[in-house]
Amino acid sequence: MNLCYALLLWTAIFPALTGTEDRLRLEYDDLVAQASALIDATDHMEADLRQQGLVLHPDIAIARNRLATAIDRATTALDNQDWNQLRKRLDRARGYAEQLRRKLL
């Protein structure tokens, strides 16, 4: 009888878990797209500056590198299906994306 209750409980919880996973995957996809755009813009800016004999401001380069690292770590968490770590990594990457965005304005 306890097995039946356990199965019933699992079937009730499972859709909620997959909904959370799906939501995290969508957040990941959105954030990766934003991060890619920011990183590409920064890379193009750096190339343009280099052609003029100038360098990218170190704070911008650091923000870009932090964002890239945070995205890599979020990707690892997603690959491992570690949903708690993915949530934390996405929050951190979102913060780094905002920092880079502010520095580019």
Q: Is residue 3 part of a domain?
A: no
Question: DSSP 3-state assignment of 56?
Answer: coil
Question: DSSP 3-state assignment of 54?
Answer: coil
Q: Is residue 39 part of a domain?
A: yes
As a whole number of Å, the end-to-end CA separation of the chain is: 63
Q: Per mean pLDDT, which range of 15-24, 37-46, 96-105 is the poorest?
A: 15-24
**Taking the model in full, what pTM does it have?**
0.79
Q: Is residue 51 part of a domain?
A: yes
Contact call for residues 49 and 86 (beta carbons, < 8 A): no
Q: Is residue 89 part of a domain?
A: yes
Using CA atoms, how far residue 8 sits from 17, 21, 62, 96, in Å, is 15, 21, 50, 42
Q: Is residue 45 part of a domain?
A: yes
Q: What is the mean pLDDT of residues 80-104?
A: 96
Question: Which residues make Cβ contacts (< 8 Å) with residue 17, sequence separation at least 6?
Answer: none
pLDDT band at 7 (very low <50, low <70, confident <90, very high): low
Query: For the segment 58-87, what is each residue's pLDDT rounded down to a tens digit?
Result: 999 999 999 999 999 999 999 999 999 999
Q: Is residue 85 part of a domain?
A: yes
